[in-house]
Amino acid sequence: MLRGLYTAASGMITQQRRHDTVTQNIANINTPGYKQVNAVSHSFPDMLISLVGDKESGNSKRIGKLSTGVFAEESLASYVQGDLRETGKASNFGLLSSLNLNDPATGQPIPFDDSGKYVNEDGEVTYRPEAFFSVMDNNDQIRYTRDGNFTVNAAGELRTSQGQRVLGDDGNPIVLPAGLSINQLQSDALGNLVYNDNGVPTVAAKLGVAVVNRPQELVREGNGVYRAEDPEVADIRVGLAVADEAVVRQGYLESSNVDTAQAMVDLLAAQRAYESNQKIIQYYDKSLDKAVNEIGRV
């Protein structure tokens, strides 16, 4: 009986975390560059239950498996491309990324599904490479984001909406040349910020767009910012090339990729499952009450 209480309680905790994850997605529907998070649940190991036979025969009868509960294993980010929304602001930048990988065995492009994932015949999972803006926080640590809602401060530094410094492809923070405003710069598809210097097109800086070949290795920090525990494991290179299927769009912002309809379905499903586990606990509570206060008196 107590095992049933623990199983139902673990289900309630899991659904609460699932509910919190979906609520976070809904709260960030209008956050530029936000990537939806999906809660992944996993069951505890099942137990094989058998009915022990009598002493004379020694025979036992197999009853079946008994589940021991579920837990919220992890939260995975979905890097599906969000829609680009035109803002007309020169300090806004959007990334349109559809990077691909070739299968080492066949040399052909890997057929990723709509979620950016591919599972081969052996069950090995491969994720689509993703592009991010490289930024630096106040502790001089490199981070990655898809939020291109940038601003320029009094010192000419290009910064994110959260205050991080935007990095160039050389790894240094981007500082606009003296006397230039962001409105005088035009970005090409590779992120080169070009201005007119007495009739000569001159590159002031190049946005440090990082191509992450293993985005599943990134760790979410909040506010649409990610970090790489080990850049070599995540296989990161900085700087877009002509061959890359990713472009920078100035005057655009990438919208959140949250599916609002699916989010509402998941929210209601988590609520229903939570209530079901709650009723199971109430049932066990009544059974224990009867066992202690009524049967125990006999």
Cα–Cα distances (Å) from 205 to 59, 158, 176, 177, in that order, read 80, 11, 8, 9
Q: Is pLDDT of 93 > 70?
A: yes
Q: Is pLDDT of 124 > 70?
A: yes
Percent helix, strand and coil across the chain, each to the nearest 5: 25, 35, 40
3-class DSSP state of 51: strand
Q: What is the pLDDT of residue 56?
A: 56
Q: What is the pLDDT of residue 218?
A: 92
Q: When comparing pLDDT for 51 and 97, which is higher? A: 97
Q: What is the pLDDT of residue 127?
A: 85
Q: In this predicted model, what pLDDT tens digit does every residue of 251-284 receive, in sequence order?
A: 999 999 999 999 999 999 999 998 998 998 888 8
Q: Is pLDDT of 89 > 70?
A: yes
Q: In this predicted model, what pLDDT tens digit does every residue of 191-214 receive, in sequence order?
A: 999 998 888 899 999 999 999 998
Asked if 140 contacts 173 with a C-beta cutoff of 8 angstroms, the reply is no
